[in-house]
Amino acid sequence: MHDGGFFFQAFVYLTAAVISVPLAKKLGLGSVLGYLIAGIVIGPFVLGFIGEEGESVMAFAEFGIIMMLFLIGLELQPKMIWKLKAPILGMGGLQVIVTALLIMGIALLLGFEWNTGLAVGLVLALSSTAIVLQTLHEKGLMKTDGGQNAFSVLLFQDIAIIPILALLPLLGSGHAAGSHAGDGHHGGTTWIDGLPIWGQTAAVLGVVAGIVVAGRYLVNPAFRLIARTRLRELFTAAALLLVIAITILMGKVGLSPALGTFLAGVVLAQSEYRHELETNIDPFKGLLLGLFFIGVGASIDFEVIAADPVLIMLLVLGLITLKILVLIAVGRVFGMSYDNNLLFSFALAQGGEFAFVLFSFGLGNGVFEPSLVDPMIAVVAVTMALTPLLVLLNEKLIQPRFGTTEKAAPETAAAEEFSGERGKVIIAGFGRVGSTVGRFMQANDESATYLDLDADNVDLLRKMGLEVFYGDASRYDLLHAAGAADARLLIIAVDDPDKAVDIARTARKHFPHLEIIARTSGLADSHELIDMGVRHVYPETLDSALRIGVEALSLLGHRRYHAMRAMHTFRHHEERHMHELAELRHNRRELIRETKQRIEDLEELMLVEKRERHRDKELGWDASGHLSDEGHMRD
């Protein structure tokens, strides 16, 4: 059925995704379930489009998880991580240890050896980072207490994989210990295999320190050089290179690549290239994660299930129930509110993708028998596939019935913290105009997010302590990353008129709620923006020209206050004409005629004003009217 051509493969995967994901979303099931079902359908047991090679696709698709962790790291400032240390260590530690011990106890009761039981317990204690985070994210639950705590626990589990990998060979029957089996990720030859324990520890610490230092001092200058070339695809390539390099490096020292890229993400969270990195990596992450979920669906071994369906179902139910109970207890210990605790517990109640890796690793080390591993992998895959359904079940049935109906209000404070600093104002272009606007905003306690395309400029301004990001504000994804969905104002202060129009067009199309204030260079771009519905348009030279005019009049002996008032009149007409002429801008002849007419009108008006000393406006300050009135008022 599958002749294995790359394009045919890609065609099958993409078709499955494009058909099943929108369907699943339409049914309110979420994209994760859509991908999983697609995987089952094209997998070896239904249509059979993908078979053995599914495994290599899986290894490739796990790269999506690595990217996801990188993006999550980018969203988290180091100080946020520090704040989360209690849930990460406390909740994560408690959950893993208690779950592992309980499973071990059950295994002992069933007559297994204690070491096998402990190994199975440790492996099954882990949950699926990919499925949980994607599901919660899609439902907008990441920023709730439950979501954040789930994230903390997943983070701990990712760290826990390192000691578990070290522990598994020791739990083995001995004869196979030390001979690492090839398993895609952690096996193979690492650089540090031959080193003694202290040497391995030193190497691991060295690599971690290296990532931190490089992220701090090397990545920014490198990106600046790349940004200067103004080639977007080069930036994408560099971002991918960064993530891949870390993945390889972590693999070589036997650490989880997801953890490594997460760390790199956190280090780069303060970089001005944060938004740009996010926008470049995000589509790859999405595709690869989708591929990963399809892979999970396809890898559910229905033959194993069919061999003893009752046993498998009992194991699945048992594992989910056990995990939920442990998680609820952990949530209670840490004082989580009822609703959040339920969400937290239902979300994390599955086995994780690392179980696949660890089971095959343990198999190679003689910890597990093949007769144990096959059903276990099937159980894990089924629990993963059930996760979106469990979250849905909790949302639709359990929470409405048993949960307190607490509002999201107290959670919003945490939500704001989690998404980092995001102003009500986005300023696009931080040059001569934007920087003054920005300083003025800051002087008046209004924080703003700044975007600029000049890498040197961004660097300089960040050295001065301003929150400036590198990126092209005319791109939807970048505006989105800068917080356009929640912002109120977009100030377009770039000096390139075409770019300004592009930015305005993107913003009008995707963020119609954003009020736009635009700096323009002349009539043409002003008209184009007004035509687009931008109401606040400010030609960059008008105000300073008029101030020069006031000064000139004053030096020539005009009263300063009179000059100022004349300036107001002039500017008022100028701005009104700009808006009125915008309607005629497509008709060039008409435009020229109208403009001429209006200049004449204005000159006429100014002359009349001069001749009659602001007759209309300043009548109240002029006694001539009183004097000519024959009636009273003489005194």
Question: Which residues are at the interface with another protein (CB under 8 A)?
Answer: 565, 568, 572, 616-621, 625-626, 629-631, 633
CB of 567 to another protein, least distance (A): 10
Q: Identify whether the C-beta of residue 25 lies closer than 8 Å to the C-beta of residue 31.
A: yes
CB of 565 to another protein, least distance (A): 7
CB of 543 to another protein, least distance (A): 12
Would you say 82 or 621 has its CB closer to another protein? 621
Q: Which residues contact 263 (CB under 8 A, 6 or more apart)?
A: 73, 208, 211, 212
Chain position carrying tokens 């994780």:
352
Would you say 456 or 618 has its CB closer to another protein? 618
CB of 625 to another protein, least distance (A): 4
- Give the residue among 483, 494, 503, 500 at the shortest CA–CA distance from 425: 483
Q: What are phi and psi of 407, to 5 degrees?
A: -85, 165
CB of 568 to another protein, least distance (A): 5
CB of 573 to another protein, least distance (A): 13
Q: Which pair of structure tokens corresponds to residue 486?
A: 């929640």
Q: What are phi and psi of 142, to 5 degrees?
A: -60, -30
- Please count the residues of the chain: 635
* Three-state DSSP string of 473-490: CCCHHHHHHCCCCCCCEE
Would you say 600 or 618 has its CB closer to another protein? 618
CB of 629 to another protein, least distance (A): 5
Would you say 28 or 625 has its CB closer to another protein? 625
Would you say 395 or 622 has its CB closer to another protein? 622
Determine the number of helices (DSSP H) and then strands (DSSP E) in the chain: 30, 6
CB of 441 to another protein, least distance (A): 16
Would you say 580 or 618 has its CB closer to another protein? 618
Provide the 3-class DSSP secondary structure of residue 57: helix
Would you say 6 or 621 has its CB closer to another protein? 621
Would you say 82 or 561 has its CB closer to another protein? 561
Cα separation of 398 and 396, whole Å? 6
State which H helix or E strand residue 411 sits in.
helix 409-418
Q: Identify whether the C-beta of residue 365 lies closer than 8 Å to the C-beta of residue 176.
A: yes
Chain position carrying tokens 């736009």:
516
CB of 340 to another protein, least distance (A): 36
Q: What are phi and psi of 585, to 5 degrees?
A: -65, -20
Would you say 85 or 626 has its CB closer to another protein? 626
Cα separation of 136 and 138, whole Å? 5
Buried/exposed code over 46-67 (b: 16+ C-beta within 10 A; e: otherwise): eeebbeeebeebbeebbbbbbb
CB of 618 to another protein, least distance (A): 7
DSSP letters along 450-519, please? EEES-HHHHHHHHHTT--EEES-TTSHHHHHHTTTTT-SEEEE--S-HHHHHHHHHHHHHH-TT-EEEEE
Would you say 369 or 629 has its CB closer to another protein? 629
Chain position carrying tokens 């995000």:
282
Would you say 416 or 618 has its CB closer to another protein? 618
Buried/exposed code over 160-190 (b: 16+ C-beta within 10 A; e: otherwise): bbeebbeebbebbeeebeeebeebbbbbeeb
Provide the 3-class DSSP secondary structure of residue 92: helix
